[in-house]
Amino acid sequence: MSDWTAFILAVLGLLATPGPTNTLMAASGAQRGVRNSLHLLVGELGGYAIAITVWIEIVGAVAAKEPIVAVVAKLVAVAFLYWSAWKLWRNAGHADFGQRGITLGRVFVTTLLNPKALVFAFAIFPTVGFVERLPYDGVFALLVVMTAVGWMMLGSLAQRGSAGLLTSARVEQLTAVALVVFATVLAVQTLSQ
């Protein structure tokens, strides 16, 4: 297996697993359909690009000297996920999508704070310089788009096949519960280290 094959399989494996960003993509697909959710890709791509670069270039260097930096960063991510869950639950079923929380900005910040970015940065991306990493960044972006659209389609199909049981309010409440679960798992893992 080549380095590229291993990289692609590892990225796809991690991107395909349920997580906070995927949950938002699926919920948006269920609420708005795939076409009306595509703009959210900008938020996910931007969030991952910034997070992975910051983890590799800045936090990695600082955390090597001060391990508490990585712990604080993870706890900030936990707090944001809890806040997102609360906002989604509280506003479930409201007519205004902006109030409901699945916005480009929310996807961006959720992805920016997504713990998967940490795994991508330190376990999957090769340890190379910034310029040498650019081809990997391009392939990663393509895989992000493919996976996100897959989650949107899954949400859309689930909503259509639910015979009215999967209302917008229920999707948002299920999304909120999933975000609480992700946040709790991350908090427990972070505090137990």
Query: Is the distance from CB of 116 to CB of 74 less than 8 angstroms?
Result: no
Q: Is 38 exposed, middle or buried (0-12, 13-18, 19+ CB in 10 A)?
A: middle
Task: Look up residue 18 and give its DSSP letter.
Answer: -
The Cα 169–Cα 25 span in angstroms is: 15
> Does the pTM of the predicted model rise above 0.85?
no
- CA–CA distance, 42 with 73 (Å, rounded to integer): 23
Q: Is it the case that residue 47 has pLDDT exceeding 90?
A: yes
Q: Residues of 83-97 as b/e, b for ≥16 C-beta within 10 angstroms?
A: ebbebbbebbeeeee
Closest CA to 42 of 145, 156, 172, 151: 145
pLDDT in tens, 128-174: 888 999 999 999 999 999 999 999 998 888 777 655 565 666 766 77
- What is the mean pLDDT of the segment spanning 89-103? 64
